[in-house]
A = this chain, B = another copy of it.
């Protein structure tokens, strides 16, 4: 087991009707900015409900945070925070709204050009750079990214997607009420299952370090997602299926399963380029990249792929190669079964675009990916070829 730090101070308020208690958690004297997305939270009446619950607090609104939230959008909210002396932000939405809000909380206190905050990648922004952030809480409406219980964000700017991480950007609280996700379009639910699944494999399918309990927990999340995947899409109001989906998605990226193990974020990093270049949904990009990555990296990931085959897919017979083949096939079939296509060509992107994607990876410094830093641009190209 590798050494690790685990720290996660977010208070999760989980379950039916928990939104009713939100007045308890937003500071009573705060001037509040409510952030939200493209309109569904507004149309559904959720924003109005939240406003009512804020009672006599002074509040402002900032809607229109888009999927893959853009820097240019978020800086407009930063102006509101500064001008109106906002001291608490309430993000109502999914990963994009929460991610965007995390950036706003940092940028509002940042003296220089807030572009600077995009340059730290998967490293924490040093505290002497971003020393303060606006406090915030969230009301989650989409189970997928885990952003409701972590300190990470991904911000889009130009043709790039930039991770932003800070010890200051944990939500104070997140209201996680599965019933608030009942009205989501099926494709977003399916994308959410894939996102949580791939977050888990990225912290599990690496090389073994004898982190037995972390492996068991990762496998537990994968088994749960496999078990509830069809139901949470087909029966959106099946509370227990959705509750297990939502809580698994939160646990997949709250630091728990990544503590003490190697991590390989290649699937997300290549996936980000596919979203930035071609507008493919985040979850879809992961379903495209992961099976191809596992095929290309089967030697480096052999031991864990065999464990995955046995413990997650219950594959007991066959040679090692056959077991690994079948585990990858079952992964692909799981995504396809959720309605998510797993070949890049199925999204209208041909092999002629591979050089463009590789060039983007190069531009963004993604030249030494993986748990061992040895996925060069050549290897990424092979992965993309397999993903066609």
Query: A247 to B15, Cβ gap below 8 A?
Result: no
Closest to A21 in B: B5
The answer on a CB contact under 8 Å between B1 and A5 is: no
Partner of A13, one of B5, B12, B240: B5
Determine whether the beta carbon of B9 is less than 8 Å from that of A9.
Answer: yes
| Cβ-neighbour of A227 out of B7, B212, B247, B259 (below 8 A) | B212
Interface string of A222-249 (1 = CB under 8 A from B): 0110011000000000011001100110
Mark interface residues in A1-22 (1 if CB within 8 Å of B CB, else 0).
1111111111111111110000
Chain B contacts for A15, CB-based, 8 A: 1-4, 260
* Cross-interface CB contact of A220 among B10, B12, B213, B259, cutoff 8 Å: B213
Task: Name which residue of chain B comes closest to A245, CB basis.
Answer: B213
A251 within 8 A of B: yes
In the complex, the count of this chain's copies comes to 2
Q: Does A30 contact B (CB under 8 A)?
A: no
For chain A, give the interface size range.
35 or more
A214 to B251, CA, bound (A): 10
Q: Which residue of B lies closest to A240 (CB)?
A: B210
Residues of B within 8 A of A219 (CB): 216, 220
Q: Flag if B220 contacts A224 (CB, 8 Å).
A: no
Residues of B within 8 A of A9 (CB): 7-9
What's the least CB distance linking A11 to chain B, in Å?
Answer: 4
Known: A3-B16, A240-B1, A244-B211. A256 touches B259 (CB 8 A): no
Question: B residues within 8 A CB of A5?
Answer: 11-14
Contact between chains at A11 and B7 (CB < 8 Å): yes
List which A1-56 residues lie within 8 A (CB) of chain B. Answer: 1-18
Q: Does A303 contact B (CB under 8 A)?
A: no
Q: Does A221 touch B at the CB level, under 8 Å?
A: yes
In the assembled complex, the CB of A155 is this many whole angstroms from the nearest CB of chain B, namely 26
Q: Which residues of B contact A4 (CB under 8 A)?
A: 12, 14-15
Q: Which 8 A-B pairs have the closest CB atoms?
A: A3-B15, A216-B220, A9-B9, A210-B240, A7-B11, A6-B12, A1-B243, A213-B224
A sample of 10 inter-chain contacts (CB < 8 A) reads: A1-B247, A4-B12, A8-B9, A15-B260, A210-B244, A212-B228, A212-B240, A216-B220, A216-B224, A217-B220
